Amino acid sequence: MNEKPDKLIDKKGIRTDGRKADELRSVKLQVGVLSHADGSAYIEHGKNKILAAAFGPREVHPKHLMQADRMVLKVRYHMAPFSVQERKSPAPSRREVELSKVIKESLEPALFLELYPRTGVDVFIEVLQADGGTRCAAITAAALAIADAGVPMRDLVVGCAAGKIDDTVVLDLYDAEDKLGAADLPVAYMPSLNAITLLQMDGSLEPAEFEKAVGMAIEGCKKIYEMQKEALKTKYMVVKEVEE
């Protein structure tokens, strides 16, 4: 994977990992994997493997971060040293601090922050293996962890990226496409409310391509949303079936 291939997408429209332009990687979701957390979720999005744990609402520490009129959401996005090819220093990097903030802001619109003043919800995201598009997969898992903790939400938040490789707009870029491609456009979305909570872009796109990419990412989000709902129901369905 170290040499750049001539083409990221061939004449038949098949990408270097065998997917079509509008095809998602395989997604596997599981809810309630950690027993010490109030809520938790695990996602495998292609080769990405990410754990998310949610705690709260509880007292805010350190105290000065407490808000008198609303709940605060704290997010820590962290990559394990073994999550990438070259060892990554376990200390939080500039990129991780930024992603923590971006993920926090994409989850906040889903919460009723004003209902529980002077409290905080903590979300810890641990990337065990990274292969491009971790912020989107992290958002998907974090939303599930918060819902599993019993914190009221307007909707589950789903993350999915679109982008441009060579001259084609494609869905859900993986690591190599992200690094060698022309543009990457991560989107976080609340499907029931039809609201975008995160929109970033890296690279350049024509206006027409941009619109196509956003539309494609939203379609991707909707597909993952169905899996997300299914994963959440599966955990609680088990409880229900035992009863009957």
* Binding positions for another protein, rule: CB under 8 A: 38-39, 56-59, 68, 110, 112, 116-119, 147-156, 190-193, 229, 232-233, 236-237, 239-240, 242-244
99 versus 190: smaller Cβ distance to another protein: 190
CB of 224: closest distance to another protein in angstroms? Answer: 14
- Name the minimum Å distance from CB 95 to another protein: 30
3-class DSSP assignment, residue 140: helix
Which C-beta is closer to another protein: that of 36 or that of 240? Answer: 240
In the complex, the smallest distance separating the C-beta of residue 88 from another protein, rounded to whole angstroms, is 33
Residue 197 phi/psi, 5-degree rounding, is -110, -10
- At its nearest, how many Å lie between another protein and the CB of residue 127? 25
Residue 42 or 116 having the CB closest to another protein:
116
Nearer to another protein among residue 204 and residue 234 (C-beta): 234
CB nearer to another protein: give 82 or 236.
236
Buried residues in 91-103 as b, exposed as e (16+ CB within 10 A): eeeeebeebbebb
Distance of CA 70 to the CA centre of its chain: 24
CB of 119 to another protein, least distance (A): 4
